[in-house]
Structure 1
Amino acid sequence: MWPQEQSGYLVAGEYQHASASEFICLDKRPKLREGGSLNHDGKTFYLAEAVCGSLPCPPYVEGRELTVSVN
């Protein structure tokens, strides 16, 4: 059995935003960087949710967040 290296959630940018985006794995315990309270309008990530038809339901559940495990 392989050791689990990382686990988290599948995220991507908002589909209506003009910038390009791809799905990535966001660690379930991300390391935060200290900063100020200024908003620089950086990249915002949104959780990917299951949609039945695109994915087989079951085992996926409509509207649930998709998790990722990297071994």
Structure 2
Amino acid sequence: MSPILSDHAVSGNWAYLYGGEYQTSDSHNNKDPVCAVCRSTLSTTVMIPGTNVCTPGWHLQYSGFLMAGQNDNTAGSEYICVDSKLENTVHGDANENGVLLFFTVTQCGSLPCSPYVNNKVVTCAVCSK
């Protein structure tokens, strides 16, 4: 509930970050889920959207921007954390339109518009412990 968002300029297309809610037809229906991290005796790596820092005791692997498929595309898409340098391959400038990644911006509604702000680029952090 303490997002760190970016003022990175976005034009054209983007992905949306929405809040979630259960659709279960029981007492959980329309309730908003919470996030959880499961720890084991093995090392744990987690991607945290909405911040570019790790909680105390965790090590920052990298931070960047939450990216996903375009908001009006019907194809399935997963949110991924892309390093803030947005590095690319040497021959990566051809317009082949494979999997397209767009900046993810906030969309208020089930995502609370306080503390979030509508249409801000979502940051992310990859943390390990």
TM-score range, shorter chain: 0.7 to 0.9
1:31 — aligned with what?
87
1:12 to 58, 61, 68: 68
Aligned to 2:59: 3
Q: Tell me the equivalent position of 1:42.
A: 98
Q: Report how far residue 20 of structure 1 moved.
A: 2.3
Alignment CA distance shift 1:62-1:36 (3 Å): closer
Alignment of 1:63 with 2:63, yes or no, is no
* RMSD between superposed Cα atoms in Å: 1.9
Q: 5+ residue gaps in structure 1?
A: none
Aligned residues: 71
Bigger strand share: 2
Cα distance, 1:37 vs structure 2 = 4.7
Question: For the residues of structure 1 that align with 2:70 and 2:106, how far apart are their CA atoms?
Answer: 15
In 1, Cα distance between equivalents of 2:86 and 2:74: 26
Rg comparison, structure with higher value: 2
- Tell me how far apart the structure 2 counterparts of residues 7 and 18 of structure 1 sit (CA, whole Å): 28
Shift of 1:63: 0.7
Percent identity, aligned pairs only? Answer: 35
Instruction: Provide the C-alpha distance between the structure 2 equivalents of 1:30 and 1:12, rounded to a whole number of angstroms.
Output: 14
What's the TM-score, normalizing by structure 1?
A: 0.78
Q: TM-score, normalised by structure 2?
A: 0.48
Question: Residue deviations 1:1-21, cap 9 Å, x none?
Answer: 222112111111113334321
